[in-house]
Structure 1
Amino acid sequence: MSSSGQTQFRYTQTPSKVVHLRNLPWECVEEELIDLCKRFGKIVNTKSNVGANRNQAFVEFADLNQAISMVSYYASSSEPAQIRGKTVYIQYSNRHEIVNNQSPGDVPGNVLLVTFEGVESHEVSIDVIHLVFSAFGFVHKIATFEKAAGFQALVQFTDVETASAARSALDGRSIPRYLLSAHVGSCSLRMSYSAHTDLNIKFQSHRSRDYTNPYLPVNQTAMDGSMQPALGADGKKVESQSNVLLGLIENMQYAVTVDVLHTVFSAYGTVQKIAIFEKNGSTQALIQYSDIPTAAMAKEALEGHCIYDGGYCF
């Protein structure tokens, strides 16, 4: 093998079922370690963010032969192990088990790892994810990403109890059809617990949101391109293609309630559902009608108009 392989492995080490990984991206998360290693066998433990630069990790396999299989594979492969395009150096660990750590995905936590089956990343917006999970409690943060397992998200709740309730109710279920684009057949949810307790969100975008920090910088280009496709059909604009309206409530001088919005929007047709949420320091609402023409009529009539004189408007 090339000289790069000689720096990637130590052939004189005694094999161990614990594999030591170095040169990881600093933001590497446990799920990425699992994605890299799981093809070689069952993973029973992980320990990440190790070392002075917090760019090392340990992964423990259930069986010694599984660890040998992984090390041997990359020792003989022309393609190095990589995470986020960065070469990961692999060797056997001096330890033979990881202590004081839990099996990944099994221990309840306040952050859920959600896999969206049957869809591409652009077919389920972060606003839809927020709406679905907010039904169980306040969602602090969301981070979405694409992995070998498909489109995934980390969803952070206030506490373990709320996250557990959401997992129990949603795991194996599908996102409601009215929240998906018309060309999407279905979207099933698979979830486990993440080892994270507090996600590091650097800015608001179509891939990440921090609902607890209204002063976080906004990636406006990403925001503009993300809001409407999941509420519309075939990627077209929500104004003409969806029975769900997204309303931004501005100049708010009175309390916003579901009853007030229901009264206003029911003047144009039967309102099926209403959801109110805070985002980027502003109040927004999703209003669902039974069909697209009714939603379009309500939008045309109400957009830019105040509900109260001197109050708030959409």
Structure 2
Amino acid sequence: MSTSSQHQFRYTQTPSKVLHLRNLPWECSEEELRELCRPFGKIVNTKCNVGANRNQAFVEFVDLNQAISMVSYYASSSEPAMVRGKTVYIQYSNRHEIVNNKSPGDIPGNVLLVTIEGVEAGDVSIDVIHLVFSAFGFVHKIATFEKTAGFQALIQFTDAETASSARDALDGRSIPRYLLPAHVGSCNLRISYSAHKDLNIKFQSNRSGDYTNPMLPVNYTAIEGAVQTAVGPDGKRKEPDSNVLLASIENMQYAVTVDVLHTVFSAFGTVQKIAIFEKNGQTQALIQYPGINHIQLYHNGISC
């Protein structure tokens, strides 16, 4: 018996039809495990990506003799068990069956919970999140928030299949560098499934969006602070950091309606939404464009 095969096994354990595999490639797939075990019998269950480094797994054979056959073969073979060029260490498990007590984050659903590591709220905009995840299908809704785990987002797709394809492709990956602010080095995505089925988005804002309801009102209190900071200490107007303009309507000579504002502001780009409201005795309006590049207003204001 070779020295390498001696280190692959522990002989003090009671044989079990469940085998514990270690030193697997990172996030080894179920199909790779089944391929390794197929010559020795039928696998009835697996538990992949176990451990902090996701490099361990459990496989359960139909009966004990099949598991013993696999352990005996590699114990006496000069060639170790290999997956993707890595030596796999095999031993009997203390368990006699695999019980998949899946946490909610492991049960496929149409809503993903995304933790964006290495960033603060505001570093990654909702538009960037929408752009990244829309590559896998139509994104219905997005809600972002801050928890102890960091900056997170809930992303709702049409179905679990679309959500799963996004999760499989993006979990552990980073948002493309060109979409991040200069001060952010990298930001890894940690993605699990959410127990939510349909997000309740009450307002469009820079923190949440419902892409199925273009008539949803804009939360102007969330946007207004960003718009006001667009004026520097020297009184000069800076480039807006929002795709929503806050317009104060002064010296009104006639009733200002949504149609009137749409006519005026459409001269500078495609207007998506308009909301008119009263604040501190003054009439104001929010005008939303598709993006900040569509905003081409360079006047200090428009009098009506």
TM-score (norm 2): 0.44
State which structure, 1 or 2, has the greater radius of gyration over its C-alpha atoms.
Answer: 2
